[in-house]
Structure 1
């Protein structure tokens, strides 16, 4: 068994899958527990990775985990606890951007807000709380939360960023607004600060990682995102790997982005 046990949620697609690939490409060897809400999709992703990296010394294992389902989280914990006994790195990657569902008429406004927080903040907290005992079995425990550049309060008046610009006068407002997503990710930043405090004396290094504006399914139409300047998710994945491998150990308890520390 590898000395580097990584459990990452929401890893069968998007940034999560690219992060797994980045770890596989590393000179280090990992056992990567690839979490997916659907075990079939997680297994499919693992098969894809084995075909793409046939000579890798790292091991990738599919794990079913739905962070909106406490029973699913507990079952994942029981399975990992009995088979591996520890987790060295826990990456809370699973997330959702649901604001557009309101504009499309597929969710009510309350459903958008409640589920945004349930996935992006509450689910990450419950999963972390459940898996904390396995982190404490590690000699070098690391805890990561994947946040967003839209979550910073300090830069929320930077009008060079499209999502900070005011919509035109009148009602209803533009469908480009993403308040539920932004608020839930700002909440995640505070959640990270709480876990930094809670696990400090246990030696757990904790961060948020802000991977940048990426062309993933989280943000909708991929081609439209690329036209708006979205980056390849590989860029964000390599940043996550850098944090996992010690590149930001001097910035524990902060939000890390490509150009340094993201202001609060």
Structure 2
């Protein structure tokens, strides 16, 4: 039996690695929709995925979906629902971190915050609401939100992480503190909690996942991320697939981390 999966932002980073892990899985076969903002990005990712997983028995298809565009989300739903009668897994992976990049491009604080919330929270909420009717038709539906331990109020009190270090006195401050990104991911955790509650009686298993600090293009500077200890996004992809394949079914409604994560496999709020 084939499991259908939609991954937003699957053309690179954690989304791409999740799709690749699914294609390489020996537990089941998958029909994967690789979501990206343009057909060029989605199609290019599909070509690369097929090249990296030549022996797969699963299927992978490109899907255009832009979280800033309601019409794009609507068209994505129409395309997917025209090909399958149920969606087993929705992985809300797409997101932006433009705190550093936005300043370099001359965006104001208001523009950075508004755009971050529009994509990371509003867009994710709209695509989830759009696809829920297809999701609840599954006999084993799963809803996943990619967030970050940086959004944890508890962890914000820990002195050790790089993102909790206080900068020297004076103004302007030079350290990038990812203010808009962290605030959106905190908002996303509450959205996860509301969907967990709302879909509980529809038997939808819902989680947030902390993929850990990994080197992707999300913040526009993967070299900086590596310098502060970022790891390989393939590890995060394996964490997501473990949730998809039932490894964390006892932890629904929580923010999950890898067992080797310094904050543990259940991230504190």
Q: C-alpha displacement at 1:257, in angstroms?
A: 0.4
Counterpart position of 1:73: 73
Say whether the 8 Å CA contact 1:116–1:180 is kept in structure 2: yes
Structure 2: any 5+ residue segments left out of the alignment?
A: 260-264
**Match of residue 263, structure 1, among 259, 265, 268:** 268
Q: Which whole-Å CA distance do the structure 2 matches of 1:104 and 1:168 have between them?
A: 22
Report the TM-score, using the length of structure 2 for normalisation. 0.95
1:30 aligns with 2:6: no
Per-residue deviation, residues 90-149 of structure 1 (Å, max 9, x unmatched): 000000001113431431111100111111111110000000000011000000000012
Q: C-alpha displacement at 1:53, in angstroms?
A: 1.5
Q: Which whole-Å CA distance do the structure 2 matches of 1:77 and 1:243 have between them?
A: 23
Per-residue deviation, residues 7-35 of structure 1 (Å, max 9, x unmatched): 00000011110110111111121000000
Q: Which whole-Å CA distance do the structure 2 matches of 1:227 and 1:79 have between them?
A: 41
Structure 1: any 5+ residue segments left out of the alignment?
A: none
Other structure's SS at 2:206 match:
strand
Say whether the 8 Å CA contact 2:255–2:267 is kept in structure 1: yes
Say whether the 8 Å CA contact 1:10–1:35 is kept in structure 2: yes
Report the TM-score, using the length of structure 1 for normalisation. 0.97
Q: C-alpha displacement at 1:227, in angstroms?
A: 2.7
Say whether the 8 Å CA contact 2:5–2:33 is kept in structure 1: yes
Q: Which whole-Å CA distance do the structure 1 matches of 2:95 and 2:227 have between them?
A: 23
Q: Which whole-Å CA distance do the structure 1 matches of 2:169 and 2:71 have between them?
A: 46
Counterpart position of 1:63: 63
Q: Which whole-Å CA distance do the structure 2 matches of 1:102 and 1:24 have between them?
A: 35
Q: Which whole-Å CA distance do the structure 1 matches of 2:116 and 2:23 have between them?
A: 30
Q: Which whole-Å CA distance do the structure 2 matches of 1:87 and 1:63 have between them?
A: 14
Other structure's SS at 2:114 match:
helix
Q: C-alpha displacement at 1:83, in angstroms?
A: 1.2
Q: Which whole-Å CA distance do the structure 1 matches of 2:113 and 2:224 have between them?
A: 24
Cα distance change of structure 1 residues 233 and 210 upon mapping to structure 2, 3 Å threshold: same
Q: C-alpha displacement at 1:170, in angstroms?
A: 1.1
Cα distance change of structure 1 residues 175 and 227 upon mapping to structure 2, 3 Å threshold: closer
Say whether the 8 Å CA contact 1:46–1:61 is kept in structure 2: yes
Counterpart position of 2:182: 182
Q: State the superposition RMSD in angstroms.
A: 1.1
Q: Which whole-Å CA distance do the structure 1 matches of 2:224 and 2:150 have between them?
A: 18
Say whether the 8 Å CA contact 1:103–1:175 is kept in structure 2: no
Counterpart position of 2:43: 43
Per-residue deviation, residues 166-218 of structure 1 (Å, max 9, x unmatched): 11111111241111000000000000000001100000000001000001111
Counterpart position of 2:203: 203
Q: Which whole-Å CA distance do the structure 2 matches of 1:136 and 1:50 have between them?
A: 29
Counterpart position of 1:164: 164
Q: Which whole-Å CA distance do the structure 2 matches of 1:102 and 1:7 have between them?
A: 29
Aligned residues: 263
